[in-house]
Structure 1
């Protein structure tokens, strides 16, 4: 079991969790009869709750801290699996896990000193060497080797390899000219896994596990899976030549999400939210600096110089293409904003003119006044024509009625089909139709 001091600390952690307001649904084992959820044990095959974990601590049934942590994580996973990742109760479970992780950082280390191994071939100094290991809050072992002062060697700590987890740890790029943009990729990756995006980023943090998520067909549909952890590893291992390669993997991750998860499904929606975060951050990508003039060296061959020139040309082409795309996008946005404003102003004027015309028409007069010169744009006519084609029933009958009331010379509307060119209608009739249909 756990050492006494660790067991005591774990017990205090559970008591602290049970006092939180989000702990209420997790204090006792789930009762499917009382909660009217008869299928619970069909979905959740390994149930767990805080009181069960507390009993295991009191019975000293955990052999290590990772076993204790695994039960907490299982409780959170069970909740999300049965209730859905976006449910309120799943959010409460994640809040408990956040509080648990914060306390876990303070758990005392477990010092274990085994008896030294005696050997006839070993020297007295070697026989006096001792090893011990301690568990860090994340469960990673730190091995310490203590040697006697007689050997003349100082004490040293042997740490395990740095875990390749998020966030990004900067490493040397393949090519120096891409260093700035690859460093920016690390910043983007750190933003994607930030706590403020946790509610919709968590499905993308690790590779998809079809067994745990009960989706056995995943690898039949998704031939090239991708996730943020894999992207992080590739970034650390210098597998990306430039930011374009990094972006390609991120886009692949979202493409896989949309392909496997239908529109409006929770994970699909979360994918679009996270991709919006990526898009907003990605526009800040630094433009690669212009390549420096190659220095002449007698040792360089002509082929190397040619290759460097080709790389420089490619870099310039990419820079120009990127700036052109940004310029086109800004011009399109500006044009759309102007068009929307202009259309809105025209629409207001037409509505005012239509009201005035309607008042004048209702007054008796010897002769009908001339129709005002309404300005109906080509886009409005096109939009009206397309929309009318989709109408049916009462709405279509009303459209015919408007046409006959405004232009009785067209026909008496006795149930016959009307083939009519929109351009043949007077502006007043067009406005009435546009206001009704659109």
Structure 2
């Protein structure tokens, strides 16, 4: 493994990316090749892969084993869970989510791509764009992943033919553009042979673009969450009850977006009460400023009622609270989501009761048409829903914030995750924010 100094790592940027594609398109092999050829694999890891490969009668190491970590995955030869891998080159650090390709595990792709800044969608050159390819493109668009790489794999099995690559790239790019994907970069590769993964291919001299690693190292990454609307979901109220700090009352959580400063006027939602930040503790030490992804404890000037699930925001930039949420969702559960379905809605650190009031449309992947009022969404469907919550929620548009503009729906009977939602439009609630539903009857 190549040696990278601590100083070099601190100077590099971080890219979070995910892989997606149909079963047997070669995602795990691509990731294994990427790790192997970039010298990001430890010697003992490679030896273990070589031993397992030899026991199967394979002449060369099966690099897919570097990511398929579960025994069930190795036995079936498919990825069934999201495999996270961390590696670095002298130019950039990476967090990779290798997601399953089987339609049954589309929910895992939603999980892996939810925080990604780039998605690599693999296509088997022999099969071209298939339904699962279109579904993964739709999810990438839905999650507003800013960069999409189309990796046309197994080019060695089609004679490295440029016309095959060009036709697939044209079809996928047109489809992704219609979905609203801002950028598609198409790269012809052979993950098994290593063509255009880390090193340029000698078999495709007609291609003059970057290799997969070159693109990953150079794609612009905008970590602009520190400049977004500041949001702090309260996770825990800290009251140490110690003689040294008898009046200490802090509100702990991870900053979801933006920057907070001592002395800044803030509003606590959904109550709407206002105060100022009197102090910020970071790792037990007071600081004047804190920003996105830092876990902090905020102290407020006034003794107001703040509890887990509340949202602290700058007073000048407070989102509206609403009990009517309209969103685009990807349904991930085996049981269908129906109109009238009673669910729990988890937004940030807050969980409230809710009812699905309407399902206005379902997306048809083949032609991107909308099927009006389907009445239900089944596993892997993408559609629009209208939800009524028991309590008001301070929600942002997903376009403005991927953290506070998203939510999940949960089955209240067993805690199963039903649906991942992205807020597209919310409606102002006609009721005052003090209104509450009947806890027992769910009558709201």
Q: Provide the TM-score with structure 2 as the length reference.
A: 0.21
**The structure with more strand, counted as a fraction of residues:** 2
Higher relative contact order (CA 8 A, sep 6+): 2
**The structure with more helix, counted as a fraction of residues:** 1
Q: Provide the TM-score with structure 1 as the length reference.
A: 0.21
Larger Rg: 1
